[in-house]
Amino acid sequence: MNAFSPEDGLTLDEAMEELVSAEDFLEFFDIPFDIPVVQVNRLHIMQRYHDYLTQAGDLDSHEEEARYNIFRQLLARAYQDFVDSDALTEKVFKVFKRNDPKSTFVPIEQLLS
């Protein structure tokens, strides 16, 4: 059961202001989750969720229920990314996107000049 209901007198944005953890978001949007997956990947899941929301563009013009469903779908997708994969493979954060310094080739001529 989700925590959002227009009958409560709160907007979706107001209700979401109370959420502080990845688990809060998953519970709010009624998304079943495996605790160990969230414990290991919480920051990655939330960043991927933020990225998906950014890609979705302006959602403010949608009705509350439609926005709730879109938010829920995007969070479920972000969570599933880390069920099916891992943080190193998904490369959510900039630190994972850098080239591996061990695999960088520098010709000896550059070192001597």
pLDDT number for residue 1: 41
What is the reported pLDDT for 57? 85
Look at residue 107 and give its three-state secondary structure. coil
pLDDT at residue 23, as a whole number: 96
pLDDT of residue 61: 82
Whole-number pLDDT of residue 100: 54
**88 HSE (CA, 13 A, CB side):** 1
The DSSP-derived string for 24-80 is HHHHHTT----HHHHHHHHHHHHHHHHHHHHHH---TTS-HHHHHHHHHHHHHHHHH
- The residue ranges of every structural domain in the chain are 6-112
Does the pTM of the predicted model rise above 0.85? no
Predicted local confidence at residue 110, as pLDDT: 67
pLDDT at residue 59, rounded to an integer: 85
Q: What is the mean pLDDT of each run of 10 residues along the chain (113 residues)?
A: 64 92 96 94 91 89 90 96 76 56 63 65
